[in-house]
Amino acid sequence: MSLLKPLLLALRNRAAHEDDVMRWLWIAWLVAGDMWDDETWHSLTEHTVRAARTVGALNVLPLALSYRAAVHVHAGEFDHASALIDESGNLIEVTGNSPLGYAPLLLLAWRGEDPRTAELIEAGAREAASWGEGRATGLAHYLLAVLYNGLGRHDEALDCRRGAKYEDLAVVGFSLMELVEAGALGGRPEAAATALHRLEEHAGAGGTEWALGILARSRALLSDGRTADLLYQEAIERLRHSRVTVHLARTHLV
């Protein structure tokens, strides 16, 4: 990815202020997510964490650890993610920087074990909105949809449409994926079909195994018979060649 090289050079050479490095990291992360590019996510976070540790960039390291934790969540490596989230939190406490809420809430949503998860996600969105972070609203609805679909509460997941209302990078596509599943499994095929139509535009542009695997699974949810079977097989085969193990597991489940 073209953004990776200047980001790492800035870190290693101290050629940019750490706030500039964090801005590059944030942009690169969002663009890669919007393109369903799990390989870039992996490389970006792995190299940035290593470089930040090497040069002692304590402002950059917590963010890099947080994003690396999110990569582990998508890979189904929840214990690794939890350890990095704890390390990031400890560094933030020491440096006095603003807390990072995305990775901890993502992990909670995928685990689905804490009864306070929905409340914590909503509280995090309200706090972010208080300082003008409008993207947090869509992100919160995406996380809630992940949580509710995982718990089999598909009607509630389908109510999280605000995650797909705006064209937020690395939010709208993921939200549409959840809405397709919520509508298909919640007896709302029309809503699922509407979400699928938009998802085809977003994920289709990515062209990665992750993106194409999600598209195949989403289409399978709205198909039946031999067609559905072939689409599920395609989804499993494609996701098997990606790093997003959580979606491979979900494909087997549905």
Alpha-carbon span 3 to 230, nearest angstrom = 37
Indicate the pTM of the whole model.
0.91
According to the model, what pLDDT value does residue 51 have? 86
| Angle of the 117-130 helix axis to the 135-150 helix axis, nearest 10 | 170
Q: What is the pLDDT of residue 124?
A: 83
* pLDDT value of position 26: 83
If the chain, 254 residues long, is cut into consecutive pieces of 10 residues, what is the mean pLDDT of each piece? 58 60 82 92 91 87 95 98 97 85 95 96 82 79 97 97 85 96 97 97 90 98 98 98 97 95
pLDDT for 98 equals 77
Alpha helices in the chain (DSSP H): 4-13, 18-34, 38-55, 60-74, 78-95, 102-111, 117-130, 135-150, 154-158, 172-185, 189-206, 209-221, 225-240, 245-253
